[in-house]
């Protein structure tokens, strides 16, 4: 996933707000893996 760091931060906050905390941990774990592969 490519993108501006600021956009990524906004996406992270929106996701945190929209997704229950238990799922957010799973999402961030997966997101960071995908981001690392890019």
pLDDT for 28 equals: 80
> Cα–Cα distances in Å, from 1 out to 5, 7, 21, 22, 27?
11, 12, 22, 23, 14
Encode the chain (38 residues) as per-residue pLDDT tens digits: 555 667 778 887 877 777 677 777 787 888 877 887 75
pLDDT for 1 equals: 53
**What is the rounded distance in angstroms from the CA atom of residue 6 to the CA atom of residue 23?**
22
pLDDT for 12 equals: 78
Per domain, the residue ranges of the chain are: 5-37
DSSP string, 1-38: ----HHHHHHHHHHHHHHS-HHHHHHHHHHHHHHHHH-
Q: What are the φ and ψ backbone dihedral angles of 20, each rounded to 5 degrees?
A: -55, 145
pLDDT for 3 equals: 59
pLDDT for 8 equals: 76
């Amino acid at each position: 996933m490519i993108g501006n760091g600021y956009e990524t931060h906004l996406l992270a906050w929106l996701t945190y707000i929209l997704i229950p905390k238990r799922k957010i941990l799973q999402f961030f774990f997966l997101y960071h893996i995908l981001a690392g592969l890019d």
